[in-house]
Homo-oligomer: A and B are copies of this chain.
Amino acid sequence: MSVLAITGGVGGAKLAVGLAHLLNPEQLVFLVNTGDDFCHLGLHISPDLDTLTYSLAGHACPTKGWGRRDETWSFLKTIQDLGGPAWFQLGDKDLALHIYRTQLLNEGGSLTAATKAITKALGVKHSLLPCSDDRIATVVDSDVGQLSFQHYFVKHQCRPRVNGIKYDGADRARLNSILDLATISIVVICPSNPYLSVDPILAVSEFRNFLRNPHVPVLAVSPIVQGRALKGPTTKIMTELGHTVNNKTIVRHYADILTGLIVDEGDAKDCETIKDLGIECIARNTVMRTIDDRVRLARETLEFGKALSR
């Protein structure tokens, strides 16, 4: 069995850590959203790859979910004093990663190669693959105009009303060439924001076509718990896009690719409705507060996947 886990940043990284705890690097590969990537102060920043890297390396800040633990902030304070942009929080240690990656890219390396060098140096054993080495940029069409993802998410703190979301470049982007689709036996969609974190990956047509393959079960852990997302703008965006915030919306969103959905135990009542839509469904505790929660949910997810593979 080889598991491919699709993930964005904070939410997805929790399940990713659990999966990495159970499966060795030959059994598990991560395909990571790059739609949030952007250039800031001349640096190539890949927020989701970094959150995954720090989470798997044990360097993630446990309170914020993003960035590094034991971070220092001299740079940010100083660039503010200089009159430079300080809206994007760049810690001194985090900055080293961005500068190093930018140098590797400027020397002609791919984002995949740069990610490999960085994760290796930080002791991450599993492969983190950017969904594509081509540029994919998530753009939010909002009531204040088109906003690049980080401008919407960080600078405007998700306040503008979302009318739509597009993934610039995704139609031409090639799937990460390192990923060997023939070896994948189960696909897990981690509980990341469907619109902002998962859809940029699914927008790569070669990958979306692969997921429609009926021989490889695709299961998702729902990011919705009792009518709302635990964190981030998922709830707000779903509402603004005209959807009801529930598991049925998640199932409809992934309708053409999904085999099974894991909902929170508090939403166990949804399982019957979802099964009626032709999607397998189980209810588990999906709120991952501790490392034990992450490993437990990862185990339950893999068991569900094995059952669906039969």
Contact = CB atoms under 8 A, between A and B. Distances in A.
Contacts of A91: 74
Interface in A92-107: 92-93, 95-97, 99-100, 102-103, 106
A92 B117 contact: no
B92 A75 contact: yes
Contacts of A121: 81-83
A42 B103 contact: yes
Nearest to A76: B96
A180 B92 CA distance: 41
A117 B81 CA distance: 11
Contacts of A102: 42
5 contacts: A74-B93, A75-B93, A75-B96, A82-B122, A83-B121
A96 to B, nearest CB: 4
A122 B76 CA distance: 15
A178 interface: no
Interface in A257-297: none
A103 B42 CA distance: 6
A78 interface: yes
